[in-house]
Amino acid sequence: MPVLRGTLTYARFFVDGKLPDDLHDRYLRAIRLRAQRPLTAEDDVASRSGWCRVGEPFELELDFESVFYNEYLNLGMRTDRWAIPGSLLRAKLREAEAAHLAKTGRERLGRGAKAELKALVLKRLRKELTPAVRSVDLSWSLSDGIVRFFTHAPKPAAEMQELFKKTFDLSLVPEAPWTLAVRSGISATQDTAWVGATPTELVPGAS
């Protein structure tokens, strides 16, 4: 879900750590190092994530004006993933196995040979297809230490937290009642009461 248009649905994270004094220059260099590299058939990975321009998944040239806006740092996290239909892969693999057996005169393939043949078929298919591209926008309020990530899906959120850590050397803490209470300045008495609290079942048998 984009920052600049559409319905504003996002998850919030709190930044854990101190920002450097030269954050604009340092972070821009770090972002460029982690900018997305489009996935190719020669790559050995099935997916890869990196930064792109906010709202523009195919714009990978990142400059100061496209990243920083007043007290905000805005980016998109682009993920390229090979999404080859299982039925197509199985059909091509059967063809390749039959051709290999006919060529070698063997009756069956061993486990190692099957694995090598599957890798070869996957590489051929990747040359014929293009990877699926998905982009999710991120907006970081530098003054508040809050990151808004415009999806609630757990897998992209986990990938974003890992990429964020590698880029900025800062951890993200997902917003939750406890983390929000700690950030708001919970007292020692409230802390004790919170630890001793137990969930209330409003609907019997719902848990």
Give the pLDDT confidence score for residue 2 in this predicted structure: 58
Q: Are 164 and 170 in contact (CB under 8 A)?
A: yes
Locate tokens 């997916």: which residue?
47
Specify the pTM: 0.76
Give the domain ranges of the chain.
11-81+132-193, 86-128
Per-residue pLDDT tens over the stretch 37-80: 999 998 989 999 999 999 999 999 999 999 999 999 999 999 99
The rounded distance, in Å, linking the Cα atoms of 151 and 8 is: 9
Give the pLDDT confidence score for residue 117 in this predicted structure: 87
**Whether residue 173 has pLDDT greater than 90:** yes
Per-residue pLDDT tens over the stretch 7-45: 578 999 999 999 999 999 999 999 999 999 999 998 989
Give the pLDDT confidence score for residue 178 in this predicted structure: 47
Q: How many CB atoms are closer than 10 A to CB 120?
A: 13
169: left (phi over 0), alpha (psi -120 to 50) or beta: left
> Which amino acid, one-letter code, is at 156?
P
The predicted model gives 178-186 an average pLDDT of: 54
Burial class (CB in 10 A: 0-12, 13-18, 19+), 182: middle
Maximum Cα interatomic distance, the chain, rounded to a whole number of Å: 79
- Of 155, 100, 92, nearest to 129 by C-alpha is 92
Per-residue pLDDT tens over the stretch 118-153: 888 888 898 989 999 999 999 999 999 999 999 999
The rounded distance, in Å, linking the Cα atoms of 10 and 178 is: 19
**Whether residue 86 has pLDDT greater than 80:** yes
- Backbone φ and ψ for 114, nearest 5 degrees, come out as -65, -40
Q: Which residues contact 19 (CB under 8 A, 6 or more apart)?
A: 142, 170
**Whether residue 190 has pLDDT greater than 60:** no
Residue 142 sits at the vertex; the CA angle it makes with 137 and 146, to the nearest 5 degrees, is 60
Helix or strand or coil: residue 140?
strand
Locate tokens 């486990």: which residue?
111
Alpha carbon distance, N-terminus to C-terminus of the chain: 31
